[in-house]
Amino acid sequence: MLSAAIAGRPVIDLPSSTPPPLPVMPTPTRSDSGLGGIPQQRDASDETLAVIGIILVLIIVTLIVVGLVLLVRALIRAWKDRPLRRQDAADVDVDLAVESVAEPVPDAPAVRRGIAAARDAITRRTDPGDAIIAAWLGLEEAAADAGAGRGISETPAEFTLRILRQRSGIDTPTNRLLRLYEGVRFGGHAASESDRTAAADALSAIEDVWR
């Protein structure tokens, strides 16, 4: 025990069980490369090429559109400036003759019958206003029975005037009778016996022209 105390604490050498050190992996450092190892300089050049390609496509499309517009204008101008076929003088005379007889001639006996019925109404009706209205409506019926078609934009009064005025010297009596009719029917004018007499005189003048 004395010798052991003098020798000190015993040391026992055992084989080390510490695992061998792991290999040290190099720490990645920031470089100028981008994702996938592609340099950023290459990305910038690709973007520039894409922009240039878009600009070229826009220029080409613009040139195509301008060319089409010019082509259409040239075709329209050529169509307008095309030489018209010459017509013989005989053909022109035929066309003018057709245009001159475009308006049908009214049936004179039908017009005369309508004028006679209007004169009968102007004297037979008791009220002067009713007599004037009946007289003018009789003329409108006569114009419709005369066989000449009324235009789409024509009123019955305009159509009646056009039919009656195919005989010259009738403007004054027809205008006088129309004013009396419109004043009584649409203007609220109370017709008098003098108005009836004026309408009868106008009808007499119209009858003389169409006799």
pLDDT in tens, 60-69: 989 898 888 8
Q: Which tops the pLDDT comparison, 163 or 85?
A: 163
Highest mean pLDDT pick, 15-29, 39-53, 96-110, 185-199: 185-199
Question: What tokens does 6 get?
Answer: 């003098």
Taking the C-alpha atoms of residue 135 and residue 179, their distance in angstroms, rounded to an integer, is: 13
**Spatial contact of 148 and 103, defined as CB atoms under 8 Å apart:** yes
Instruction: Tell me which DSSP letter residue 26 carries.
Output: P
Greatest mean pLDDT among 19-23, 24-28, 49-53, 202-206 = 202-206
Over 80: is that where the pLDDT of 171 sits?
yes
pLDDT of residue 90: 41
- Which of 168, 182, 171, 176 has the alpha carbon at shortest distance from 202? 176
pLDDT band at 16 (very low <50, low <70, confident <90, very high): low
| Buried/exposed 174-184: b ≥16 CB within 10 Å, e otherwise | bebbbebbebb
Question: Cα 27 from chain centroid?
Answer: 76
pLDDT above 70 covers a percentage of the chain that reads 66
Helix (H) / strand (E) element for 18: namely none
State the pLDDT at residue 207.
87
Closest listed residue to residue 161, CA positions, set 153, 170, 169, 152: 170
Tell me the backbone φ, ψ of residue 33, rounded to 5 degrees.
-85, 150
Contact 121, 135 (CB under 8 A): yes
Q: What is the pLDDT of residue 210?
A: 85
Residues of the chain by 3-state class (helix, strand, coil), percent to 5: 65, 0, 35
Mean of all residue pLDDT scores within the chain: 75
Q: Average of pLDDT values for 156-174? A: 86
> For 78-87, 118-127, 190-199, which range has the lowest pLDDT when averaged over its residues?
78-87
- Assign residue 8 a region (left: φ > 0; alpha: ψ between -120 and 50; beta: otherwise): left
Contact of 179 with 195, CB cutoff 8 Å: no
Contact (CB, 8 A) for 156 and 140: yes
What pLDDT shows up at residue 93?
45
**Token pair of 61 as six digits:** 């499309």
Question: Which letter does DSSP use for residue 37 in this model?
Answer: G
